[in-house]
Structure 1
Amino acid sequence: MDPTQTKSSVDNAAEERERLVSTLPIREGFWKPYVLYRGFWVSPQVAKSVMLLQDEFKPRADDIILAACPKSGTTWLKALAFTLVNRSRHAVAGDADGHPLLVNSPHDLVPFIEKPDRELYPVAELEALASPRLLATHMPFTLLPASISAVGSRVVYISREPKDVLVSLWHYLNSVSKDHFIKLEKAFELFSEGGSYFGPVWDHYLGYWKQSIAEPDRVLFLKYEEMMADPVKHVKTLAEFLGVPFTVDEVDAGAVEQVVDLCSFQKLKNLPVNSSGTSNLAGWMPMEKSSYFRNGTVGDWANHLTQEMAYKLDTIVQEKLKGSGLAF
């Protein structure tokens, strides 16, 4: 809360957000109803958080925003970006046993801007972070506070093959919300209609894709599958974009490969901090930390979706992305 605001003005603003959310279109969601806020389906709590952020969030020019649609590689991107930006302070080789990534979840090291309930977790906690801040979001580009673009904060976006996003999201929500189990067929129907969390997924992709073309020096668009196929190449690209390129000596010493290894899915998954215990990252219920590390492979959708389902979703995505230059 802005210290210049009175309790009355804060309460009035909260009531206005509540009123606005109550007027939004509503539909069935994966585990609870979603509202349509400026073209995207989100929970009522997230809609209010986004409204609050648009009023109160104060970006900095050296902020780095890591963005993704849910279940598209967010955890991996957080780990990579944190390791790259902080490698002068936290060595990846040699004394890497003391590296923060080995004893902290990537989600604890890189907080979500929207939380997802900023009415419970004040925006002020983001103000307390030292620069340069690494921040994450699931918000579509058009829902980001306009001030982020105005000050020139850099944005890294990671996308993923939509069929794998669907399957990963289905597994994840069923694992953390066992009282609201959703069948795959129903999840497929909702996803194909654009009714997934922060969906439609194709519009989420397009927002960042188009901005990366318009501002390539400020917005980097990555694909999960390409990164998995050649992580060394993409980690170098990411380091350059973040303003911390590898030196020749680092490359010769194998520093890039060491970053890739430290941040690998299997290594992170097996760490006690990620494999046991619970987290309340979602803000609405505790969940097993291991739920963030299920599979991570490319093409897992083939183990779950029928060929008919795959063809239908491919056709929808191709049509939605037609003419954009983006394809999966």
Structure 2
Amino acid sequence: MDLVTIVDEQNNTYTFKRYQGYAFNKEAIGNVRDQLEKIAHREIRKDDVLVCVFPKAGTHWLYNTVRMLKSGSLKYHGTPTWMEFEDFNAIENMPSPRVFGSHMRFRFLPEQMKLGQGKVVTITRNPKDLVVSMYHMMSAMGDLGYKGTFEGFLRIFLSEECFMGNGTWFSWMKDLQEWKSPNCLVLSYQDFKQNTFENVKKLATFLEVDHEESFLRSVSENIQFNKIKESHNLSTPPNDRWKHITEDGRLPIYRKGQDGEWKTMFTVAQSEQFDKIYNEKVKELGLKINL
């Protein structure tokens, strides 16, 4: 495993871990190899649920929805325990039914999940909104791996050295598309926002949990963006794991949650270049994406 630092001509600085040609967040546990080995051979229980989402596509939103449905409780459940960022025993010692998270590409998920054990849920979002949200989050934190301008960050996001998803968003989506197991449910950020109750019902059916319609409607109300943001700010305790890169140990997860905010950040030239690469990658990788 190599710790790589790239400084471009505008003095933007990007630091990540590289393992076997893949980029990983520098906060990933240890030398990456050992953690990936443990993840690959992790014992998966039948009622396990993994929330595996590209960063800033709605991970915490989806995670808390899943937790409410699995627990039958409307309380805010905070931040997932991460496969790549937490000590291995943190998940091993969780009581069933376990719900945990990851931002990694699907190729790195546990072997038993690839064979259909447990369930995987994900949510997809317009990559232009993703990169804007991610840039603001990283700018609000300490040294998470990037210091510089949005222009420089956009270049990294469109390269295979993007640590957020072990490569570009396009490669991450390609892995998702090739996930053939029926144990995976894919939701849309925009549709989830516009048709929350219908998506909560779909998620409940997939998770095989039986709740009255009144409870599902209450879940839909409690995961509205402003409510869940307020809950995060009021009830999430400080976490020693993140104190070195945040002011109080709380990750700045929720910002605006809006669709189309990319229009406030992208220049016309940046948008045109992004669209050009987007169209090329979708064709090259055979992606079936409807944004």
Letter matched to residue 178 of structure 2: K
Q: Which residue of 2 aligns with 1:241?
A: 206
Where does residue 28 of structure 1 map in the other structure? 6
What amino acid is the match of 2:174? L
* Cα distance between partner residues in 1 of 2:81 and 2:251: 18
Distance 1:38 1:220 in 2: 29
Offset, 1:326: 1.7
Give 2:176's match in structure 1, choosing from 208, 211, 215: 208
Q: Which residue of 1 aligns with 2:195?
A: 230
Select the structure that is richer in helix: 1
Residue 261 and residue 276 in structure 1: after superposition, are their counterparts in 2 closer, same or farther (change >3 A)?
A: same
| Residue equivalent to 2:111 | 146
Q: Counterpart amino acid of 1:187?
A: F
Alignment equivalent of 2:92, drawn from 121, 127, 138: 127
Please, which of 241, 258, 265 is the counterpart of residue 225 of structure 2?
A: 265
CA distance in structure 2 between the partners assigned to 1:186 and 1:134 by the alignment = 35
Q: Which moved more, 1:173-182 or 1:233-242?
A: 173-182
Q: Is the 8 A contact 1:63 1:153 kept in 2?
A: yes
Shift of the 312–163 alpha-carbon distance from structure 1 to 2, 3 Å rule, reads same
Q: CA deviation at 1:34?
A: 1.9
Change in 2 beyond 3 A, CA 1:52/1:294: same
Shift of 1:149: 2.0
- Please give the alpha-carbon distance, in whole angstroms, between the structure 2 residues aligned to 1:162 and 1:173: 16
Q: 1:191-213: per-residue Cα shift (whole Å, max 9, x none)?
A: 122433223111112211221xx
Are 1:310 and 2:280 an aligned pair? Answer: no
CA distance in 2, matches of 1:162, 1:151: 28
1:256 is aligned to 2:216: yes
Q: Which aligned runs of 4 or more in structure 1 are off by greater than 6 angstroms?
A: none
> Which secondary structure does the structure 2 equivalent of 1:112 belong to?
coil
Deviates more, 1:174-183 or 1:221-230: 174-183
Contact 1:208 1:219 (C-alpha < 8 Å) held by counterparts: no
Letter in 2 for 1:85: K
- CA spacing shift, 1:159–1:284, aligned 2, 3 Å: farther
SS of the counterpart of 1:28?
strand
| Deviation of the 1:318 alpha carbon | 2.6
User: Structure 1 residues 37 and 287, CA, compared in 2 at 3 Å: closer, same or farther?
Assistant: farther
Q: Offset at 1:266?
A: 0.2
Q: Which has the larger radius of gyration?
A: 1
Q: Secondary structure at the match of 2:178?
A: helix
State the distance in 1 between where 2:116 and 2:200 align. Answer: 26
Quote the residue 1:326 is aligned against: 289
What's the TM-score once normalised by structure 2's chain length?
Answer: 0.84
Per-residue deviation at 1:188?
1.2
- 2:142–2:244 contact (8 Å) kept in structure 1: no
How large is the RMSD of aligned CA atoms in angstroms? Answer: 2.7
Task: Summarize the alignment of residues 111-122 of structure 1 with structure 2, pairs less than 5 Å apart.
Answer: 111-114=81-84, 116=85, 118=86, 121=87
Q: Is the 8 A contact 1:269 1:275 kept in 2?
A: no
The 2-side partners of 1:147 and 1:50 are apart by 20
CA-to-aligned-CA distance 1:12-63 (integer Å, 9 cap, x gap):
xxxxxxxxx03x8x45388642234355321355274653334333222321
Deviations 1:227-283 (A, max 9, x none): 11211111111111111144xxx22xx332211111121002123744887544547
Superposition map of 1:180-219 within 5 A: 181-196=147-162, 197-198=164-165, 199-211=167-179, 214-215=180-181, 217-219=182-184
- CA spacing shift, 1:274–1:50, aligned 2, 3 Å: farther
Asked whether the 8 Å contact 1:206–1:321 carries over to 2, the reply is no
CA distance in 2 between counterparts of 1:151 and 1:170 reads 35
Task: Give 5+ residue unaligned stretches, structure 1.
Answer: 1-20, 93-98
Report if aligned partners of 1:174, 1:181 keep a CA contact under 8 Å in 2.
yes
The answer to whether structure 1 residue 157 and structure 2 residue 122 are counterparts is yes
Map of 1:71-110 to 2, 5 A cutoff? 71-87=56-72, 90=73, 92=74, 99=75, 101=76, 104=77, 106-107=78-79, 110=80
CA distance in structure 1 between the partners assigned to 2:201 and 2:27 by the alignment: 37
